C-alpha cells in the first residue's frame, strides 16, 4: 500500500512570549521541529508498510527550511517527501491551507491512505485533515487509534468518538487523522541521514499545481480574516490571602466553607 | 483580502537584518539584495507596523456575499444515538444571545436515526426551528452522509452562522462541511459576539494562547465555528416547549458511504476531570509523592478530582487523562485549587473559565496569579497539611 503522511514544521516551543512593551513576539532561541503529533502518524505508516508492504512518503507546506522535517521523516524510514512552498501560499487559513495541500497531494502522486496527525501544536485547530479529504473527495476518519486487516481495497480502523470506540471498514483511498499517544514513534536513523540527497525531496510551488487561480491560495483564498490581536485579559477581581502558613490555610478553609464544599 | 508588498528601494544591506528580525516566524528572507517574504508568513503584519514603510499592506478588491440572503444562528446538535451532548445546550444559550443582536431566528440541526424523542428536548432551549434529518442511514456517524445532510440543510435554509461543539465528531464534520461550502471556520472559539451586519466575531487564543485573535469571515457565508464543551454556560431549560420541528428530506443517493461501522463500544469509564465540580491540580511545585497524596486527600474531602500539568504527564508521574491544558482536557469546575503551578498559557487555556480559582505558589510573579481569583503566595507543603487538618477537624465537630 502507498501511504502519504502530511507533516508540519512548528516552533520548537509553543511558549512564544510577547514583549509587553512593544507587542512583538519574541522568537530568540526558538527552533523549529516536526509537529509532535505527526510522529505518531509516521510511525503508524511505517509499521503498516512493514506489515503489509508498500511505501511511505511525506508532504509538508511551509517555507523552504521545512525541508528539515522531510529529511527527519526520511531518516525515520520514509522513502521521499515533498515541500509545498510559495510566497503565494502565505497567510493561509484552514481553508486555503487544506486546499493547497490537496493540490500538492495530487501533484505528489496517488496514494491508498493519507495520514495526518491529530493536530499541530502551533495552529492547534485539528481541522486541516478533514478539509483536505473534502477537497480530495475521499472519506475521512479522525482520532484513529489503530489500523488492522488491510485488504485489497479497504481497511479496518478503530477510532475514538468521544466516549465510544468505533470499529469500521473504510474503502481506500481514504484519509485518517491519527490520535496522539497511540504508538511509540521510532527515532530517526543518523546512518540514513548521511545518504539523504536533495533528489529525495521534491519542491513544488504554485506553478506546479493544476489549479492556477491564485485567488484559491494564501491570504486571497482564505475565508477568515484576523481583525485584531490583543493580549489575553487578566483577572481583575483578584484577592490575596496573606499571612503565615497558619493564617493562609485558615483563610482558604473559610473560603471552602463559604462555598459549602465541606 | 490583501497582500504584503516589499519596497526594495528602501532596503539596504544594513537595514535588512533588522527587518528580518521583526518577523516572529522567520518568514523574511534576504538574498541577492532582495528582501522577500516566504510562505512561513502568518500575516501578523508586525513587519508592516515596525518596518517604517519597507513592508506595506495593500488591500485587494474582492468579491462579496449578499449577507441579507443568509439568516439565522444555527447550532449543530451533537449526539450519540440520541443522547445529546451538553455542549449543544451551551451553544443554544449562546446562539440565542447572538441572534438577539440581529433579530435572527435560532435554529438547531439534528441528524440521526430514530431521534424523535431527543428532538423534543431541544424545544426547551429557546429554538425557533429544529431541522431534523431522521434516516436509517444516519444511525452511525459516517462522514459522507452527515456532510451531505448538513450541506443540504445549508442550501435550503441558508443560515448565517453555524456553531458546532468541538467534540471528536464536530471536529470532523464542521471542517468537512465548511470546505464544501468554501466557508470560513474558526476552531475552539472562547468568545463569540455578533455584529449588526451579521458578521460573527470569533475570538480564540492564538500562538499558544499568548495572544487572543479576533477573527471574522466578512465575505463568506455561512460562518462556521467550533466551541469546546464547558466554555459557555448551559441555560436552564424552559418549562414550556417552544419552536417548530421541521422534518427534512434528502435524496437517497446522497446518503451512501465508503465507510461501514462494524461496532461501537463504550469506552471504559474513567475519571473525567472535565466533568468535576471541584478540581485540585498539582504542578511542578507540588509533584512529590507526599504532596500528591495530600492533594488527593484534599480532593476526596472536597468531593473533587486530582488533575495535573503537562510536566507531570511527561515525567510519567500522572496519567495523561488527568492533564489540564491545550494538549489535555479543558475543565470548568465551580472551585479549583492550583498547587505549585506556574500557570503557562497552555495550562491556563484549559482552566481559566472555572468559577473560582485559588492558586498557591511560592513565586509571587507566577502567571497563575493572573488567572486566579484568590492568590496565596506561600509554600504548598506548609499550607496543604494545615488545611487538610482544619477540614477534618471541622467535620469531626459537626
In this complex, do B39 and A181 lie within 8 Å of one another by their Cβ atoms? Answer: no
Q: Which of A179, A154, A183, A149 is nearest to A165 (CA)?
A: A179
Residue among A93, A131, A168 minimizing CB distance to B260: A168
What is the per-residue pLDDT across A131-163, written as a single tens digit (0 to 9) for each? 999 999 999 999 999 998 889 999 999 999 988
- For the entire predicted model, the pTM comes to 0.79
> How far from each other are the two terminal CA atoms of chain B, in whole angstroms?
67
Nearest residue in chain B measured CA to CA from A173:
B258
Residue among B265, B356, B382 minimizing CB distance to A259: B356
Query: Which whole number is the average pLDDT over A45-68?
Result: 95
**Measured between beta carbons, which residues in chain A are less than 8 angstroms from residue B44?**
25, 226, 229
**Measured between beta carbons, which residues in chain A are less than 8 angstroms from residue B184?**
93, 95, 222-225
Would the pLDDT of B209 be above 70? no
pLDDT band per the 50, 70, 90 thresholds, residue B395: confident
Residue among A18, A181, A249 minimizing CB distance to B387: A249
Per the structure block, which three cell numbers stand in for B1? 483580502
What is the per-residue pLDDT across B154-194, written as a single tens digit (0 to 9) for each? 999 999 999 999 999 999 999 999 999 999 999 999 999 99
In this complex, do A256 and B371 lie within 8 Å of one another by their Cβ atoms? Answer: no
Residue A58 Cα, gap to closest chain B Cα (Å): 19
Q: What percent of chain B has pLDDT over 90?
A: 71
In this complex, do A62 and B40 lie within 8 Å of one another by their Cβ atoms? Answer: yes
Q: What percent of chain B has pLDDT over 70?
A: 97
Per the structure block, which three cell numbers stand in for A212? 492556477
Would the pLDDT of B222 be above 60? yes
The B374-377 sheet, strands edge to edge: A239-240, B374-377, B357-361, B335-339, B278-282, B305-308
What is the per-residue pLDDT across B249-281, written as a single tens digit (0 to 9) for each? 999 999 999 999 999 998 876 678 988 889 999
* pLDDT score at A25: 53
Q: What does the alpha-carbon distance between residue A68 and residue A74 come to, in Å, rounded to a whole number?
A: 10
**Measured between beta carbons, which residues in chain A are less than 8 angstroms from residue B337?**
252
pLDDT band per the 50, 70, 90 thresholds, residue B13: confident
Nearest residue in chain B measured CA to CA from A176:
B172
In this complex, do A94 and B346 lie within 8 Å of one another by their Cβ atoms? Answer: no
In this complex, do B376 and A251 lie within 8 Å of one another by their Cβ atoms? Answer: yes
Q: Which of B176, B175, B84 is nearest to B130 (CA)?
A: B84
* pLDDT score at B286: 92
Which DSSP letter does residue A184 get? -
Residue A71 Cα, gap to closest chain B Cα (Å): 18
In this complex, do B345 and A15 lie within 8 Å of one another by their Cβ atoms? Answer: yes
Q: What does the alpha-carbon distance between residue B160 and residue B196 come to, in Å, rounded to a whole number?
A: 12
Would the pLDDT of A169 be above 80? yes
In this complex, do B211 and A225 lie within 8 Å of one another by their Cβ atoms? Answer: no
Task: Give the dihedral sign, CA B59/B63/B64/B70.
Answer: negative
Q: Which residue has the higher pLDDT, A104 or A13?
A: A104
Q: Which of B141-155, B204-218, B251-265, B322-336 has the lowest mean pLDDT?
A: B204-218
Query: Which whole number is the average pLDDT over B55-67?
Result: 77
Q: What does the alpha-carbon distance between residue A258 and residue A112 come to, in Å, rounded to a whole number?
A: 61
Residue among A125, A129, A225 minimizing CB distance to B218: A225
* pLDDT score at B34: 87
- CA distances (Å), B253 to each of A171, A172, B147, in order? 18, 20, 13
Residue A210 Cα, gap to closest chain B Cα (Å): 18
* pLDDT score at B289: 93
Would the pLDDT of B31 be above 90? no
Cα–Cα–Cα angle for A141, A143, A146, rounded to 5 degrees: 85
* pLDDT score at A12: 76
Dihedral (C-alpha) A127, A128, A131, A136: value to the nearest 10 degrees?
-150
Which domains are delineated in chain A?
2-216 (3.40.50.620)
Residue A35: helix, strand or coil by DSSP?
coil
Q: Which of A43-47, A203-207, B74-78, B207-211 has the lowest mean pLDDT?
A: B207-211
What is the per-residue pLDDT across A234-262, written as a single tens digit (0 to 9) for each? 555 678 999 999 999 999 999 998 887 88
In this complex, do A228 and B41 lie within 8 Å of one another by their Cβ atoms? Answer: no
In this complex, do A224 and B184 lie within 8 Å of one another by their Cβ atoms? Answer: yes
pLDDT band per the 50, 70, 90 thresholds, residue A125: confident
Residue B121 Cα, gap to closest chain A Cα (Å): 21
**Measured between beta carbons, which residues in chain A are less than 8 angstroms from residue B256?**
none
* pLDDT score at A60: 97
* pLDDT score at B275: 81
**Measured between beta carbons, which residues in chain A are less than 8 angstroms from residue B261?**
166-168
In this complex, do A181 and B344 lie within 8 Å of one another by their Cβ atoms? Answer: no
Residue B95 Cα, gap to closest chain A Cα (Å): 20
pLDDT band per the 50, 70, 90 thresholds, residue A95: very high
**Would you say the ipTM is above 0.90?**
no
Residue among A121, A230, A261 minimizing CB distance to B335: A261
- Asked if A5 and A115 count as a contact pair (C-beta separation under 8 A), the reply is yes
Per the structure block, which three cell numbers stand in for A210? 493544476
Would the pLDDT of B18 be above 70? yes
In this complex, do B43 and A140 lie within 8 Å of one another by their Cβ atoms? Answer: no
Residue B302 Cα, gap to closest chain A Cα (Å): 6
Phi, psi of B88 (to 5 degrees): -60, -45
In this complex, do A15 and B344 lie within 8 Å of one another by their Cβ atoms? Answer: yes
Task: Give the dihedral sign, CA B126/B132/B136/B140.
Answer: negative
In this complex, do B258 and A174 lie within 8 Å of one another by their Cβ atoms? Answer: yes
Would the pLDDT of A226 be above 60? yes
Could you tell me which residues are beta bridge partners of residue B192? B202
Could you tell me which residues are beta bridge partners of residue B337? B280, B358
Q: Is B271 on the interface with A (CB under 8 A)?
A: no
What residue ranges in chain A does DSSP mark as E strands?
Answer: 2-7, 9-11, 17-18, 25-26, 32-34, 55-61, 80-84, 113-116, 140-148, 154-161, 164-171, 174-178, 201-204, 225-230, 239-240
Would the pLDDT of A29 be above 60? no
Would the pLDDT of A27 be above 60? no
Residue A258 Cα, gap to closest chain B Cα (Å): 12
Amino acid at each position: 500500500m502507498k501511504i502519504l503522511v502530511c507533516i508540519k514544521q512548528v516552533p520548537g516551543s509553543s511558549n512564544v512570549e510577547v514583549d509587553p512593551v512593544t507587542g512583538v513576539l519574541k522568537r530568540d532561541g526558538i527552533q523549529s521541529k516536526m509537529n509532535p503529533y505527526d510522529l505518531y502518524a509516521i510511525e503508524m505508516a511505517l509499521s503498516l508498510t512493514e506489515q503489509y508492504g508498500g511505501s511511505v512518503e511525506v508532504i509538508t507546506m511551509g517555507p523552504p527550511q521545512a525541508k528539515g522535517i522531510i529529511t527527519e521523516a526520511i531518516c525515520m524510514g520514509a522513502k521521499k517527501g515533498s515541500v509545498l512552498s510559495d510566497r503565494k501560499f502565505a497567510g493561509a487559513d484552514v481553508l486555503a491551507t487544506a486546499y493547497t495541500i490537496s493540490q500538492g497531494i495530487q501533484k505528489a502522486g496517488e496514494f491508498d491512505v493519507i495520514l495526518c496527525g491529530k493536530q499541530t501544536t502551533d495552529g492547534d485547530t485539528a481541522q486541516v485533515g478533514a478539509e483536505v479529504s473534502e477537497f480530495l473527495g475521499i472519506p475521512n476518519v479522525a482520532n484513529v487509534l489503530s489500523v488492522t486487516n488491510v485488504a485489497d481495497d479497504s481497511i479496518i480502523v478503530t477510532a475514538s468518538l468521544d466516549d465510544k470506540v468505533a470499529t469500521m471498514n473504510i474503502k481506500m483511498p481514504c484519509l485518517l487523522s491519527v490520535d496522539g499517544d497511540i504508538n511509540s514513534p521510532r527515532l530517526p536513523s543518523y546512518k540514513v541521514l548521511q545518504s539523504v540527497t536533495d533528489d529525495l525531496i521534491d519542491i513544488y510551488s504554485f506553478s506546479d499545481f493544476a489549479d492556477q487561480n491564485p485567488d484559491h491560495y494564501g491570504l486571497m483564498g482564505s475565508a477568515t480574516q484576523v481583525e485584531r490581536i490583543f493580549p489575553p485579559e487578566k483577572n481583575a477581581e483578584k484577592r490575596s490571602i496573606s499571612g503565615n502558613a497558619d493564617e493562609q490555610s485558615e483563610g482558604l478553609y473559610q473560603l471552602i466553607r463559604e462555598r459549602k464544599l465541606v | 483580502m490583501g497582500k504584503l508588498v516589499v519596497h526594495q528601494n528602501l532596503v539596504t544591506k544594513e537595514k535588512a537584518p533588522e527587518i528580518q528580525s521583526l518577523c516572529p516566524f522567520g518568514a523574511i528572507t534576504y538574498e541577492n539584495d532582495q528582501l522577500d517574504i516566504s510562505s512561513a508568513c502568518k500575516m501578523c503584519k508586525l513587519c508592516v507596523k515596525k518596518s517604517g514603510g519597507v513592508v506595506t499592506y495593500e488591500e485587494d478588491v474582492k468579491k462579496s456575499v449578499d449577507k441579507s440572503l443568509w439568516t439565522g444562528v444555527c447550532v449543530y446538535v451533537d449526539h450519540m444515538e440520541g443522547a445529546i451532548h451538553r455542549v449543544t445546550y451551551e451553544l443554544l444559550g449562546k446562539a440565542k444571545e447572538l441572534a438577539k443582536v440581529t433579530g435572527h431566528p435560532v435554529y438547531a440541526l439534528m441528524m440521526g436515526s430514530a431521534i424523535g424523542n431527543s428532538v423534543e428536548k431541544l424545544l426547551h432551549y429557546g429554538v425557533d426551528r429544529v431541522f431534523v434529518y431522521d434516516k436509517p442511514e444516519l444511525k452511525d456517524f459516517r462522514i459522507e452522509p452527515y456532510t451531505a445532510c448538513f450541506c443540504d440543510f445549508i442550501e435550503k435554509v441558508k443560515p448565517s452562522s453555524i456553531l458546532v461543539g468541538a467534540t471528536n465528531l464536530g471536529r470532523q464534520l464542521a471542517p468537512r462541511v465548511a470546505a464544501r461550502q468554501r466557508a470560513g471556520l474558526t476552531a475552539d472559539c472562547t468568545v463569540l459576539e455578533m455584529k449588526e451586519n451579521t458578521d460573527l466575531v470569533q475570538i480564540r487564543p492564538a500562538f499558544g494562547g499568548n495572544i487572543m485573535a479576533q477573527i471574522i469571515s466578512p465575505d463568506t457565508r455561512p460562518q462556521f465555528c467550533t466551541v469546546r464543551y464547558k466554555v459557555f454556560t448551559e441555560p436552564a431549560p424552559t418549562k414550556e416547549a417552544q419552536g417548530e420541528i421541521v422534518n427534512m428530506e434528502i435524496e437517497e443517493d446522497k446518503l451512501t458511504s465508503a465507510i461501514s461501522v462494524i461496532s461501537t463500544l463504550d469506552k471504559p469509564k474513567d475519571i473525567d476531570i472535565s466533568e468535576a465540580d471541584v478540581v485540585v491540580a498539582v504542578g511542578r511545585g507540588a509533584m512529590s509523592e507526599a504532596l500528591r497524596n495530600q492533594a488527593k486527600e484534599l480532593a476526596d474531602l472536597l468531593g473533587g478530582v486530582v488533575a495535573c500539568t503537562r510536566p507531570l504527564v511527561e515525567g510519567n508521574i500522572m496519567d495523561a487523562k488527568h492533564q489540564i491544558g491545550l494538549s489535555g482536557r479543558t475543565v470548568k469546575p465551580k472551585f479549583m485549587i492550583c498547587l505549585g503551578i506556574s500557570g503557562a498559557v497552555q495550562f491556563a487555556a484549559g482552566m481559566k473559565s472555572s468559577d473560582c480559582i485559588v492558586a498557591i505558589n511560592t513565586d509571587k510573579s507566577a502567571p497563575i496569579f493572573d488567572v486566579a481569583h484568590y492568590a496565596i503566595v506561600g509554600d504548598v507543603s506548609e499550607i496543604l497539611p494545615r488545611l487538610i487538618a482544619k477540614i477534618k477537624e471541622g467535620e469531626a465537630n459537626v
